[in-house]
């Protein structure tokens, strides 16, 4: 598990470097919450998301204290209900870079305690790279 995660991180970093070399303007890394990161009570994540333009090939980067938070990728209905029972994706390293592969909405919540209900949730809309 840890090895697979490390390999994934290395792979993602290699992809980022490769993309940066090929075209420095190509990929943007969107650090969720900017300097505040992925935490509770400090950031309005919908406001933050509205300030960004997410494009295919970009990265969504979650920075947080792994002892206190995690990241679940969920469907819209689960996002709205803060339902963490059937996530599509689960991240817990404290430094998770998610590659945005395709267009459309994506939904993320914190799966710890009641954090999602306290607005530790973010939805983004990924648009085509034109
Ligand atoms: Cu949390």
Neighbours of ion ligand 1 (CB under 5 A): 69, 110, 112, 115, 120
Number of domains in the chain: 1
Beta bridge partners of 121: 109
* Ligand 1 centroid to residue 34 C-alpha, Å: 16
Instruction: Look up tokens 């090939």; give the residue.
Output: 57
- CATH code of the domain in which 56 resides: 2.60.40.420
Q: Which residue segment(s) compose the domain that 62 sits in?
A: 2-127
Q: Can you tell me the distance from the alpha carbon of 127 to that of 69, in angstroms, rounded to the nearest whole number?
A: 28
Tell whether the model's pLDDT for residue 1 goes beyond 70. Answer: no
pTM for the model: 0.81
* Ligand 1 centroid to residue 116 C-alpha, Å: 7
Tell whether the model's pLDDT for residue 115 goes beyond 60. Answer: yes
Condensed to tens digits (0 to 9), the pLDDT of residues 49-96 reads 999 999 999 999 999 999 999 999 999 999 999 999 999 999 999 999
Condensed to tens digits (0 to 9), the pLDDT of residues 4-53 reads 778 888 888 887 777 666 665 679 999 999 999 999 999 999 999 999 99
Do the beta carbons of residue 103 and residue 87 sit within 8 Å? no
């Amino acid at each position: 598990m840890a090895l697979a995660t490390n390999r994934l991180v290395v792979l993602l970093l290699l992809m980022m470097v490769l993309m940066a070399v090929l075209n420095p303007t190509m990929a943007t890394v969107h650090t969720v919450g900017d300097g505040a990161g992925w935490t509770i009570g400090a950031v309005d994540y919908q406001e933050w998301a509205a300030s960004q333009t997410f494009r295919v090939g970009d990265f969504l980067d979650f920075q947080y204290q792994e002892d206190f938070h995690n990241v679940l990728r969920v469907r819209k209905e689960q996002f709205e209900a803060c339902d963490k029972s059937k996530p599509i994706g689960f991240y817990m390293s404290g430094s998770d870079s998610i590659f945005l592969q395709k267009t459309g909405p994506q939904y993320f919540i914190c799966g710890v305690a009641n954090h999602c209900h306290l607005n530790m949730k973010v939805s983004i809309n990924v648009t085509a790279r034109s």
